[in-house]
Chain A
Amino acid sequence: MQSSTSSNDSVLDANIAQAASASSVHAHEHGPDLRMFGFSLFLVSEGMLFVGLFVAYFAFRASAPAWPPAGTPELEKFMPSVFTAILVASSGVIYLADRALLKGDMGKFRLFWGLTTLMGLIFLGGQAYEWANLTFTLKSGLYGGTFYVLTGFHGMHVIIGIILQIIMLIRSFKAGRYTPESHYGPAATSVYWHFVDVVWVALFGMLYIL
């Protein structure tokens, strides 16, 4: 291994010569597909962002004399529960889309995939409706501030999820773009969607139930 005592110029020449052929020489090597591993790590860090904000929320709540503060009515629970149910159900629907993709049934995949997007949009609409009708604002002390920042952060993630879904849906019309063997895009998007769902369930519990 301690091989290199030869002239360095020849080494450099060898490098340059080798560079030209490098990608073809090594094309036969196949490592594992690590994209999903990387994406899960990204979600770990996303999760820590929410964990940090959740802990801050509980710390603020613990320091406040009353929650919600005097004069602010309790949040209305019925409609948010319905929208929550729709978002949670969409996780099941996107799972069905994944299953269809694994079987190569693209028609069924597009059906369930589009349905998931629709359900996400309904959830977002519900969120927008609720924001429009609340009596407090972002500047209404800790209560208003935490409510809007937390739901807003989550809503932003729903929007990103929906954008990803629409991109995958459009791409899926190209024949052979996604196959039962190779479909990293939809797979990562649906993992992301489950993640957004889980975060919402935690948020719903914190903001509406507790």
Chain B
Amino acid sequence: MVQIAQGDHPEAPTGWREYFSFSVDHKVIGIQYLVTTFIFYLLGGLLAMVIRYELLTPDATLDPNLYNSVFTIHATVMIFLWLVPALAGFGNYVVPLMIGTRDMAFPRLNALSFWMIPPGGILLMSSFLVKTGAAGAGWWSYPPLSAQLVAEGDKMVTNTGEVIWLASVIFLGTSSILAAINFIVTILGMRTKGMTLFRMPLFCWTTLTTACITLIATPVLAGALILLMFDITQGTVFFNPTGGGDPVVYQHMFWFYSHPAVYIMILPAMGIISEVLPVFSRKPLFGYKALAISTIGIGVLGFTVWAHHMFTSGTPDWLRMFFMITSMIIAVPTGIKVFSWIATVWGGKLELNSAMLFAMSFVSMFVVGGLSGIMLASVPVDIHVSNTYFVVAHLHYVLFGGSVFAIYAGIYYWFPKMTGRMLNEFWGKVHFYTTFVGFNLCFLPMHWLGTHGMPRRVAAYAVDFQTLNVIVSIGGFLLGISTLPFLFNVIYCWIKGERATANPWRALTLEWTVSSPPPVENFEVLPEITEGPYEYGKPLLSVPQQQQS
């Protein structure tokens, strides 16, 4: 425990004030991450409601520039302020417990990574208040569109909203790099005795892989954004074709980060699922090693597929072919995972509570998104549906039906551990069914809209598309409403819920061997591991008896 100087952990988080302080306890920081990012999720969701309101009618109701800003900030918030940091929040809370250590390797750096998120997010949201309006070039921020001057009154000025967007994303990216360093060092350097790599719970594997992707890919995005920042504020011509620059270079740098970023958002979600499914099936996880290795496989292959986002960017044929093949190869490790999860559930003694329902629907929704992904990886199909609602449907099946469902599963699963209280099952199920129905009502029809040619990111659309768009909007509003029972449930149960025992789910990973919530430095005596994490029916640990007195 070299990193944790004595006195860093003066007392347990006994009151709410702890959560507003620069605490260095990984459990406090984990909850800070989750609550903060959930607030941003609600804000991003409100923006989505605005989008669905606009698309109720074929004509542009809002100012089209405002609409552009709304979908741009919606995507940016959901990616950089919700999915990426929320999954890091689970990592912060659960990983040190799972590998049997007292805290992250660098607790102060950990607190810093978290405390960069609120200012970054507030900065981003504040760009709605500047005169030029918030960034409106989509979350890709492709030049030359993003680098154009914008009208302010009767003169053309630098796009301040875009500059704020760039600053905010660079800031949030730095935060996630610092968190990634912490995760890698913690997982590789601080596992307890007997916790070999292949005895780690899968969530640790996915967090480790994600951290490696973040570490390698994020700086390249920062490089692209810095060059774009120079173009906008200093008048350089890196991505400006009229001055000899090349906007496609930006696209390559952007997707070199942003395709792996998809795995940053889905791999830890897969990790959560791999924890929840075996516990509520009462069976060992099927194909543990295959799941661990396919995680690394996805992480590595993820760096070789980025230009499939650029099939219509003048990419030469041989390069398209290369990226089409590599993208389809990703389906192999992903398929291994899906079949392992199905085999885990198969013949199990299922306990269909809220966590399990979300986990199982993760698998089915993710398969839908994965299959439309393979369609999009195919060059001829992609050219047909490029920049249509088919892409919007695909990405929401992966990131909402995938990642968000997994985050919900994770919250239902770990809430008792984090707060020492149980969530209400009835309201949990209400939340699940409204979310599931709302989600499919909202995003399934988008496949048809896309194949019929409705373009994304446009405020107005052809009259023929209205019926489906109204259905989509109804689904969207239902999805918005479905958050309310969840919020009610979490807030009520955090204060007044039934007390949770140390191990309410009878799970075998280490976080369940300590009390709920766990004591400040997690373990009285660091446990020693003799078996894998999912060996249901076998003794797991030679744990020195945990404190109960």
B-binding residues in A (CB < 8 A): 1-6, 8-12, 14-16, 18-20, 22-27, 29-35, 37-38, 41-42, 44-49, 51-53, 55-56, 59-60, 63-64, 69, 138-139, 141-142, 145-146, 149
Contacts and interface: CB of A to CB of B under 8 A. Distances in A.
B215 A59 contact: no
Interface string B95-120: 00000001001100100000000000
B181 A42 contact: yes
Contacts, number: 187
Interface in B504-534: 506, 513, 515-521, 524, 526
Contact of A31 (B1, B237, B501, B506): B1
> Which 8 residue pairs are nearest across A and B when measured between Cβ atoms?
A4-B502, A52-B220, A52-B223, A49-B219, A19-B12, A145-B236, A48-B219, A8-B499
A63 B237 CA distance: 13
B9 A49 contact: no
B190 A64 contact: no
A12 B519 CA distance: 8
Interface of B: 1-4, 6-12, 14, 102, 105-106, 109, 177, 180-182, 184-185, 188-190, 215-220, 222-224, 226-227, 230, 234-238, 243-246, 249, 252-253, 256, 420, 499-503, 506, 513, 515-521, 524, 526, 540-541, 543, 545-549
A37 B187 CA distance: 12
B19 to A, nearest CB: 16
Given A8-B501, A19-B12, A41 B189 contact: no
Nearest to B182: A38
A14 B2 contact: no
Contacts of B548: 3-4, 6, 10-11, 14
A2 B506 contact: yes
Contacts of A4: 501-503, 515-516, 548
A138 B243 CA distance: 13
A23 B2 contact: no
A27 B9 CA distance: 12
Contacts of A2: 503, 506
A38 B186 CA distance: 9
A38 B216 contact: no
Nearest to B214: A45
A83 B280 CA distance: 66
Contacts of B230: 138, 145, 149
A25 B526 CA distance: 12
B546 A45 contact: no
20 contacts: A1-B540, A1-B543, A3-B513, A4-B502, A14-B515, A15-B12, A24-B6, A27-B1, A31-B189, A33-B2, A34-B190, A42-B177, A44-B216, A45-B215, A45-B216, A52-B253, A53-B223, A53-B227, A138-B236, A145-B236
A26 B189 contact: no
Nearest to A145: B236
A142 B245 contact: yes
Contacts of B7: 23
Contacts of A31: 1-3, 189-190
Nearest to A5: B501
Contacts of A145: 230, 236-238
A151 to B, nearest CB: 14
Given A23-B6, A27-B1, A34-B185, 6 more contacts: A1-B541, A3-B513, A26-B102, A29-B526, A30-B1, A45-B180
A16 B219 contact: no
A3 B177 CA distance: 39
A12 B216 contact: no
A21 B109 CA distance: 24
A11 B104 CA distance: 24
A34 B520 contact: no
A42 B506 CA distance: 39
Given A3-B502, A18-B520, A31-B189, A142 B216 contact: no
Nearest to A20: B11
